[in-house]
Amino acid sequence: MEFIVEKIGMSRTVGIPSVPVTLLKIVPAKVCEIKEDKALVAYSNGKKSNKAIEGMQKKYGISKEFNRFAELEVANSEAGDLDLSPLNEAKKIKLTFKSKGRGFAGVIKRHGFAGGPGGHGSRFHRAPGSIGNCEWPGRVQPGQKMPGHYGNKNTTVNADVLEFDADLGVLVIKGSVPGSNGSLGRVRIVK
């Protein structure tokens, strides 16, 4: 079973020992259509809609707030509100979020290179150093660690569920989750 969630933030449990936790809010969703192995689900993410989305809303008879669609594995057997009952027994889940984007980063931040000595005129501080071979093959090898865009990639992690509050729709996860507060991601229950 899969669900769209919003990362609220981090907290900790009260007790000995105290455990760091991440709070995830289940995004309200409607099941529009049941397919063979997955279902078409509409949810809200606060962005503007376009003519194509408005056509889908009209086709399935859903309100304007449900302006995004995704195919998920769900427990529902017919269209309607998303069934959250599988989360009551969930112990292990798989989370997929976009990691925090860090823009264009050098090799020290992006790959953990050590850099050169700080003083005494070395003129080698935060540069990557040599990137190629000699005469053969005469080019930079694919996969060479170099400066570039860092972060903002889909990241999947396994996590333990400590608690699920069905009234508030909040999932309490042990440990940290990639992504910034307010970002949307997917939760899949591991059997």
pTM here is: 0.85
Dump pLDDT digits (tens) for 135-148: 888 899 999 999 99
Q: Where are the domains of the chain?
A: 2-119+144-189
What's the pLDDT tens digit per position in 63-111? 989 999 999 999 888 888 888 999 999 999 999 999 999 999 999 999 9
Q: Which of 38, 48, 28 is nearest to 70 (CA)?
A: 38
**AA letter at 190:** V
Provide CATH code, domain 2-119+144-189: 2.40.30
pLDDT tens digits along 158-178: 999 999 999 999 999 999 999
> What DSSP character marks residue 101?
P
In this prediction, residue 158 carries a pLDDT of 97
Q: For the chain, what is the mean pLDDT?
A: 93
